[in-house]
Structure 1
Amino acid sequence: MSRLFGTDGVRGEANSYLTAELALLIAEAAALVLAKPAAGRSAGHKPVAVVGRDPRASGEMLEAAVSAGLAACGVDVLLVGVVPTPAVAYLTAVYEADLGVMISASHNAMPDNGIKIFGPGGHKLGDGVEDQIEELLHPDGADARRARRPVGAQIGRVRHAHEALGRYLEHLATSSTRSLAGVTVVVDCANGAAHRAGPLAYRAAGATVISIHDEPDGLNINDKCGSTHLEDLQRAVVEQGADLGLAHDGDADRCLAVDAAGNVIDGDVIMAILAIAMNEAGELAENTLVATVMSNLGLHIAMRAAGIEVRTTGVGDRYVLEELRAGEFSLGGEQSGHVVLPAFGTTGDGVLTGLRLMARMAQTGSTLAELGSVLTVLPQVLINVGGVDKNAVADSVAVADAVVGAEGELGAAGRVLLRPSGTEPVVRVMVEAADTATAQRIAESLAAVVAGAR
């Protein structure tokens, strides 16, 4: 059995790979691992789980299966409905729940769905805890699952927490007290979990909001919209004469932006803007920003100029989160638009990011383009080399020599990154350079060497 959990929970085609049966078993296993009697609680205390979802059609089926699995293990379930992933994380902490479950495949197309699990306090699970859950899914874990099933009054109850979205919106309102009056923003809700939360939060802060792709029907989530398809947002911002545009993904843990001219402002630029703002306010702990190895070299150059240190992690917001917690840092994120502010949440929060970005515009009176000019993005070329033996590539002297040669040619004006895929026989060759032609040439040369590794 291959590892079930990826970098962000369990994900796959709904009702094919991710079936109701599997969802129920995952919920039971998670309850066994996470919903244990806690010190200081009465003997009659029943564990609690918060369960939310995005609007995909399969979410209704999987929500029922997850709720059944949790209740069968004696866990009371609070259904918080269609809300962003960061809302589930926040509410898990607020309700003092033993675990939280978000049913979403994030930016993936509609046929897919996924299950993300949060532990107490709304924190993502470490590899060790995920491994414990997976062990209980093996045939020899069946007895342990059956042994935990109570009867009578100890069976878990399922109820709707109708106030949940309001509590999350109240929380967002505390993240920035600066009025956004005078700021006009177009919000692409990706026909996803932000279709209510995003516009409501931005309007509550004083912004004039024009929302698009805000009518989910269960099938149109991420369909040529949201943070992976910015074309409609770029066009709408220019046509409406808005100050900026914000794009969320299906579960709203990401935020990308577009300036008034329709130019893309990616996660690296957003992090640079927020890091400088927090540094000025004395809020940037240890004067440090946490980013992944995929962040553009331009971010490192810009932060160096601003006197800010950049800590790098592996790809995936879970690794950013681990570094933030380990170093007690206050800002981190990814180029893809996951931005984490630990003072306000335990995971990436796209709506919170949008609020903070607009607050910086309101504070400085600057346009988004002016704020973003602090960072010059270096041209980046990424080539996926398929059908290779990743171990052979890692051990290849020819590949190592080619990388050293490329790094010598680029010097401080560029960089090289070879990264094996965690799920397929692919090695990703990424090159950044001062110009696109140089990046393309070096990337193609390295890709050829990687492809020939034996």
Structure 2
Amino acid sequence: MSRKLFGTDGVRGRANTHPMTAEMALRLGAAAGRFFRRDGRNGHRVVIGKDTRLSGYMIENALTAGLTSTGMNVLLLGPVPTPAVGYLTRSMRADLGIMISASHNPAADNGIKFFGPDGFKLSDDAEAEIESIVEAQIDPAQPQNIGRAKRIDDGRGRYVEYAKTTFPAGQRLDGLKVVIDCAHGAAYRAAPEVLWELGADVIPLGVEPNGFNINDGVGSTHPEACAQAVIQNGAHLGITLDGDADRVLIIDEKGRLADGDQIMALLAARWAEQGRLRGDALVATVMSNLGLENFLQGHGLRLERTKVGDRYVVEKMREAGFNLGGEQSGHIVMTDYATTGDGLIAALQFLAALSDTGQPASDLVSQFDPVPQLLKNVRYAAGADPLAVEDVKSVIAAAEARLGAKGRVLIRKSGTEPLIRVMAEAEDETVLREVVDGIVAAVEQAA
């Protein structure tokens, strides 16, 4: 079943522009309500969380109207991280969870993510079915069956208490000075609270949302702000989240950045040593660095790759029974603790390693030397397919043969705009540039 509204992570776009309009949010809410009330019973419930964008008010109200019009009872959580919605959907026995957020995007954008009753994001098939209902005539509930809406005042508190249970029992963060950058986003209260309650000396950053400043110069898309705060305050480390707190990057005491690959390498090695890593494997996307794969092989572990998107990482993990995965961008998925990427809980796992080993953050963030990686984008005309051109195929095949086992080539189309992404990794940076530039030239000529 084809999908036009849904992308790789729900519905997303510029606020007040299709598809992120109040009218479409109302229809999506009504369609989701109809999808989950196929049995005709009353009493179904949905939890809705959001980040701190101004447009969140509009979309929240429109979704609520659509959902209640089809008989769903709505529980409004207010600003909470995306993983909190996954957790509370399951904890509160809801049939559906919705997060209103455009994650790391600017404040002018927004999005709608759906979670099933198990707390995991809906499958492609379920989203396609909801989309087909949007396009059809949606039957409203009878007047006596219209749903109710209720604000849940302690949603954030429930998540805070749960997050603390994922940190080793009896351990504290006393004596650790931690910068926490919340990107003026959904975790602006929850994340500092968790760290403070565990005993850390907390230096908050990006905790003054005004509806317009989410991800603006702060957060995981701008880690330099956190790095500067770490150096200025003599902190032991920095934790920088994105707007909905489902991804995290770590800054060591020297101001250096550790991406998701380095964090996953640390956790995979620790969990394997502790006998906690299921299947002796880590799940990551095709974008993760070849150095990570080499590191895992050196520890007798495997890297299972998926296409780009944390939802595909989670699908692979659930399908094969793995419990650790993520993306280079900082989505760290630990199904022992959460149903989606959770930046705060991943940071707590890093802090546990810091506490256990007594090593400085700078030792823990450098698990492997990344293989040099180069990515270039090539724009092409709508309707064209440069990757189907024989000359392009020949150039790509020659590049793969040249790199052999000492590198790799990854060519893919963007899922959101007409771009061909040309990425390669190689130990020799001169060869790397030649390979990428050769492919880019061939794609440009074909485009």
Q: Which residue does the alignment assign to 1:355?
A: 348
Q: Which residue does the alignment assign to 1:188?
A: 181
Separation in 1, partners of 2:404, 2:3: 40
Would the aligned equivalents of 1:34 and 1:119 in 2 still touch at CA under 8 Å? no
Match of 1:34 among 36, 46, 51: 36
Match of 1:386 among 379, 391, 410: 379
Separation in 2, partners of 1:109, 1:99: 26
> Offset of 1:446 from its aligned partner?
1.1
Matched residue type, 1:3:
K
Q: Which residue does the alignment assign to 2:99?
A: 102
Structure 1 residue ranges (4+ consecutive) displaced by more than 4 angstroms after TM superposition: 388-391
> Offset of 1:24 from its aligned partner?
0.6
Match of 1:209 among 180, 202, 210: 202
Q: Which residue does the alignment assign to 1:125?
A: 122
Q: Normalised by the size of structure 2, how large is the TM-score?
A: 0.96
Separation in 2, partners of 1:265, 1:92: 31
- Name stretches of at least 5 consecutive residues in structure 2 with no aligned partner: none
Q: Which residue does the alignment assign to 1:238?
A: 231
Cα pair distance change 1:229/1:215, threshold 3 Å:
same
Matched residue type, 2:424:
V
- Name stretches of at least 5 consecutive residues in structure 1 with no aligned partner: none
> Offset of 1:452 from its aligned partner?
1.9
Q: Which residue does the alignment assign to 2:72?
A: 75
Matched residue type, 2:418:
P
Q: Which residue does the alignment assign to 1:150?
A: 142
> Offset of 1:410 from its aligned partner?
2.2
Matched residue type, 1:19:
T
Matched residue type, 2:153:
H
Separation in 1, partners of 2:118, 2:295: 34
- Whether 1:19 and 2:10 are equivalent positions in the alignment is no
Separation in 1, partners of 2:121, 2:25: 18
> Offset of 1:103 from its aligned partner?
0.6
Separation in 1, partners of 2:3, 2:86: 27
In the TM superposition, 1:289-328 aligns within 5 A as 289-328=282-321
Give identity over the alignment, percent: 46
Match of 2:159 among 154, 157, 168: 168
- Whether 1:48 and 2:40 are equivalent positions in the alignment is no
- Segment of structure 1 superposing worse, 191-200 or 359-368: 359-368
In the TM superposition, 1:268-279 aligns within 5 A as 268-279=261-272
Does the residue aligned with 1:385 lie in a helix, a strand or coil? strand
Would the aligned equivalents of 2:387 and 2:443 in 1 still touch at CA under 8 Å? no
Deviations 1:413-439, CA, capped at 9 Å, x for gaps: 221110111232211000112244432
Cα pair distance change 1:431/1:390, threshold 3 Å:
farther
Separation in 2, partners of 1:435, 1:235: 32
Separation in 1, partners of 2:216, 2:355: 32
> Offset of 1:390 from its aligned partner?
7.8
Deviations 1:268-322, CA, capped at 9 Å, x for gaps: 0010011111111111001110000000111101111111111000000010010
> Offset of 1:237 from its aligned partner?
0.7
- Segment of structure 1 superposing worse, 29-38 or 184-193: 29-38
> Offset of 1:167 from its aligned partner?
1.1
Separation in 2, partners of 1:389, 1:56: 32
Count matched residues: 443
Would the aligned equivalents of 1:419 and 1:429 in 2 still touch at CA under 8 Å? yes
Matched residue type, 2:95:
D
> Offset of 1:62 from its aligned partner?
0.9
Would the aligned equivalents of 1:388 and 1:427 in 2 still touch at CA under 8 Å? no
Q: Which residue does the alignment assign to 2:335?
A: 342
Would the aligned equivalents of 1:267 and 1:336 in 2 still touch at CA under 8 Å? yes
- Whether 1:5 and 2:2 are equivalent positions in the alignment is no
Deviations 1:233-283, CA, capped at 9 Å, x for gaps: 111111111111111111010101111111110000010011111111111
Would the aligned equivalents of 2:258 and 2:366 in 1 still touch at CA under 8 Å? no
Does the residue aligned with 1:262 lie in a helix, a strand or coil? coil
Match of 1:199 among 192, 213, 216: 192
Matched residue type, 1:376:
D
Q: Which residue does the alignment assign to 2:57?
A: 60
